Amino acid sequence: MTVRVVSYNILVPIYADRPEIYSKCRPEFLKTDHRWNLIRSQLEQEVHHHENTIICLQELSLTLLPELELFFRHLDYTLFHHLYGKRHNDFMGTAEGQNFILVGDFNFDPLDICYKALTEKNYDDYRLPESSIYEISYRRNAEQVLKSAYREKNGVEPTYTDFAHTPSCPDYCATLDYIFFNGHLTIENVLELPDYPSTESYPDETHPSDHMMIAATIRLP
């Protein structure tokens, strides 16, 4: 059995609706209606062209929830949404020994120490991030590491998954989105991504977000 896993940071409207942030984008390409039509088309293609599609979206907004619920209901899908957690209730855990898939916009690139800590066995670097809010304890990852679907299939990560020109990060172009997995799973194929952007900044006429959608077909054991 295979599943198609899709991850997409669709760019929350409160940021996209501010042209001063995305100053190199044409205003019409930042409008929610234009972006939503493109997002919907991309998601429909993944659902119609693949079986057992699981879609994981980031940067949703409450204003888009009604549209999303109608969209997924039309596809006979169920939508689960989870708001940002707070200090005392935000938790993620996995059952030991179970295969799992972890996807999303991780906000680190393949050279970052966080990426290495997840993907390299026995990685030990004392420069790992600290938090002024949470208590974080680190230990060597001696038992298991995460694999990246794109790296597993292509030998390397994509050239980029995020591209935008903003005041805080001019001409930013990097890989931030991943489909991680562990256990006895096999990557059948991944969604092909371009090597280089062809415009000055996303969103543009064909890219509704500053992030690109990533996807992988994964064979279960």
Domains of the chain: 2-81+99-109+145-219 (3.60.10.10)
Assigned token pair, 15 = 């940021």
Q: Please count the CA atoms within 13 angstroms of the CA of 216 that sit on its side-chain side.
A: 26
Assign residue 52 a region: left if phi > 0, alpha if psi is -120 to 50, beta otherwise?
A: left
pLDDT, tens digit only, all 221 positions of the chain: 999 999 999 999 999 988 899 999 999 999 999 999 999 999 999 999 999 999 999 998 888 888 889 999 999 998 887 766 665 555 566 666 788 999 999 999 999 988 988 898 877 665 666 777 766 666 666 667 899 999 999 999 999 999 999 998 999 999 999 999 998 999 999 999 999 999 999 999 999 999 999 999 999 98
Q: What's residue 197's pLDDT? A: 95
Residues 50, 2: Cα–Cα separation, whole Å: 9
- What does DSSP assign to residue 131? -
